[in-house]
A and B are shown apart, each in its own frame.
Chain A
Amino acid sequence: MDWQNIFSLALQQGLGPSAVVYCLAAIGLNVHFGYTGLLNFGQAGFMAIGGYAMAAVVSTWGLPFWLGIVVGLLLAVVLALLLGVPTLRLRADYLAIVTIAAAEIIRQTVGSVSLLEYFGGQDGLTGFSDSFRSLNPFSGSIGIPGVVSWRANDAWVMLVGWILVVICCLIVWLLMRSPWGRVLKSIREDEDAVRSLGKNVYSYKMQSLIIGGIFGALAGFITALKSAAINPSFFATDITFFAYTVLLVGGAARVLGPVAGAIIFWFLLSFLDLFFTQAAATGLIPESIMTSNQASLMRFIFMGLALMLLMIFRPQGIFGDRKELALDAR
C-alpha cells in the first residue's frame, strides 16, 4: 500500500483540469439552481455547445482560435434563449425536462453521421488546441517535488482554468451582493411575490439562464482543451449530475461552494479509485471478494454513500447555512 502515491495522485486530480471543468459547470448551475431556483438539467448541453463551437471553428473551418471562443460564447447565449423563451413562463419542472432533452439532442447531433465532415461523428475533433498550447509558458513537469506534479500542458490548462474560476466567482459575488442578485434570490423564494412588486420575473430568469450558460460554455472550452480533443462522450448526461453533486457538496447559493465542492469531489473520487485498486492488487481485499476491475468501480458506490450521508447530516453542504435550509420544513 503506497499511501504517499495515493495521496499525491488524488491531489493531482483534486486540483487538476477535470476539477476545473466541474467547478466552472457547477458555478453556472449555482447561478441557475442555487440563486434563481431554475432546474437546469442540461448543463452538459451548454458545455457541448461551447466546446464544439470552438473546436469546429478552428479545425473544421480553419479560423482563428479566439474567434472559436467568441462563437462558443455566443452560441451558449443563443441556446439559453432557445431554452428559456418557451419554458421560463411555465412552471419550474418544464425547464428541467426541456434542458435534459436539449442536452441529449445536442450530443446526438454533433455525433451524427450526416454531420461527420463538420463534427467528426463519434470520433470527434482534434487539432484545434495548437494555438492555445503555443502560448504555454511552462515546460517539463510542474508542481511541488515529492508531493504533486503535473505535465506542462495540464499545468497550462489549470492556470488558465483556475484564473477563469476566480473571475467567475468574482462576477457571481459582485452580482449576488447587488439588488440584482436579491431579485434572483427572491424569485427562487416566490415568483408571484416578486411580480407583485413590479419586477419583470421572466427577464430576470432569462438573464440568469444566459449567465449560467456562459459559465457552462467556459467549462466546455476547458473540457476540449485539457485533452486536446473533443467527442460526444465528453458531454453525456451524467456530467450534469456530477456537476450538481459538486454544487451540493460545496453548498448551493454560496459563491465558493462550487470551488470547494469540485476539489473535494475529485480528490475523493480518485482517492477511492486508487485505494481500492491498490487494495485489490496488493491482496488487502482478497480476489474472492472482488477483482481489481470491480474494485475501481467501488468509488462510485462510496461516492453515492458519501452523498447520502451528506444529505442526511449536512444537507446545506460545506458552506451552507443549516438554519436557512430548515426554514423550508416549517
Chain B
Amino acid sequence: MPAETTAPMETPGRGTSASALRAREVLADVAHEPGAKKPDPIVVADHITRSFGGLTAVDVEHVEVQRGVITALIGPNGAGKTTFFNLLTGFDRPDSGDWSFNGTSLNKVPAYKVARMGMVRTFQLTKVLSKLTVIENMRVGATGQKGETLLGAMFKPMWHRQETDNTKRADSLLERFLLIKKREDFAGELSGGQRKLLEMARALMADPELVMLDEPMAGVNPALKQSLLGHVKSLRDDGRTVLFVEHDMDMVRDISDWVIVMAQGKIIAEGPPESVMGDQRVIDAYLGAHHDEALTFEAEEKIHAEASSEFQGGRAVSAAPRASTGTTERTGSTATTSEHAAASEPASTRTDDHEDGPR
C-alpha cells in the first residue's frame, strides 16, 4: 500500500501508469458528446430534474460514468454540480428521474444505503468529526461492524477482533495519507488540507467501488495539492472509480480521464480533458469567450449598442450575448443579467476557501 503512494506522484501529466493507460484505451471509442454511451458504466442517470422554487438547478437528460476511470464534473459556479452530487448520493431527492448504481436503481434509496452499496462521497465543506480522534474518525468509516448494533455493543468479545482488524486497516490508510502522526489528535485540530485527507481516507474505510469527491482541492495549499492529486490517482490504481467536482482546471487537466461539463443544470459537453478544454461550448459557458482580448473601439461601440437595445427590449435576452463573440463578459456585467455574470466568471475565481472555515 505505501508503495503506491509515491508511484503516481512521480509521473507527470495524466500519468503513464497501467491504470491511466487502460482508462484512456477504454474511453478511446466513446463519442465526445453530452450523454455519450460508455462501454461499462457504473452509474447511469436519466432525466434527472431538481428545482428550488423557480430555479431549475439540475436538468440532466442522460449521463453515464465509466467504471475504473477518473471522471471530472466541472462547470461554472451555480451550474448544479453539487446538487447533482447530492441527488446521486441520496442526500437530496430529485423532482423526477431515475438513476442506478451497478444496475440497481437508486430512486428513493436513503443516503446511508447508497453508501453501503459502495458509493461513498465526501463534502465540499469538509465534515470531520471534530471531537473524535483521527483514528476514531477512521474507525467510524468501516462498514458492517458487529459492535454497531445495540446488543452487540454491550459485549466486547463480540466486536473486539473486528475492531482490531479495522484499526489495522485504518492505520495503513493513515500511513498512506500521511496522517499517522496525527493518529491520536482530535480531528478538529487538523488543518483544512489535512481534513480533506482525513475525509478521503475515512471514505476508503468503507471500501467503496465509487468514490465521489466534492471539490477535493478547495482550500488546500499548493504543496498539499500535489500529494492530494497523487492520492486521487492512486484510487484508480486500486481499481476504484472516482467522480469528482472541481473548479481547479489544472487539476482537472492533470488527473481526469474523462470530463463532464455542466452549465445551468444541464450537461453541455463531455470528453477527454484536452478535447473538452478546446470545446467552444465549454469555453463560452465556463471561461467566457475571448475574455482576455483587447477591447477595440468598434467592439465597445457594439457592446453599448447591444446593451441599450437589450434595455429597450424590456428584458434581457439570454441567448443573444453569449453567441456574439468577445462580448459575453462585458455585456453580462453592463446589462446586469446576473445569470451571465455568474456564467462568465473566470476559472481562477475561487468562491470558497475554508482553510479555517466552519467545520
Contacts and interface: CB of A to CB of B under 8 A. Distances in A.
A188 B132 CA distance: 10
A interface majority secondary structure:
helix
A118 to B, nearest CB: 34
B interface majority secondary structure:
helix
A188 B129 CA distance: 9
Contacts, number: 112
A178 B159 contact: yes
Contact of B154 (A175, A189, A196, A199): A175
Interface residues of B, number: 44
Interface centre among A175, A179, A190, A200 (most CB of B within 10 A): A179
A219 to B, nearest CB: 21
B223 interface: no
Contact of A197 (B110, B115, B131, B153): B115
A207 interface: yes
Contacts of B356: 330
B148 interface: yes
Interface string B128-154: 111110001001110101111110111
Contact of B153 (A178, A185, A189, A193): A178
B302 interface: no
Interface centre among B120, B140, B156, B205 (most CB of A within 10 A): B140
B143 A198 contact: yes
Contacts of B350: none
B206 interface: yes
A198 B120 contact: yes
A327 interface: yes
B148 A189 contact: no
Interface string A224-240: 00000000000000000
Contacts of A193: 123, 127-129
A324 B186 contact: yes
B152 to A, nearest CB: 7
27 contacts: A175-B153, A178-B153, A179-B148, A180-B149, A180-B152, A182-B136, A182-B139, A183-B140, A185-B129, A186-B129, A189-B129, A189-B131, A190-B359, A193-B127, A194-B129, A195-B111, A196-B123, A197-B140, A197-B202, A197-B203, A197-B206, A198-B113, A198-B143, A199-B112, A199-B140, A327-B189, A330-B359
Given A197-B112, A199-B140, 17 more contacts: A175-B150, A178-B153, A178-B154, A179-B147, A179-B163, A180-B149, A182-B140, A189-B129, A190-B129, A193-B128, A195-B91, A196-B120, A197-B140, A199-B112, A200-B110, A200-B112, A330-B359
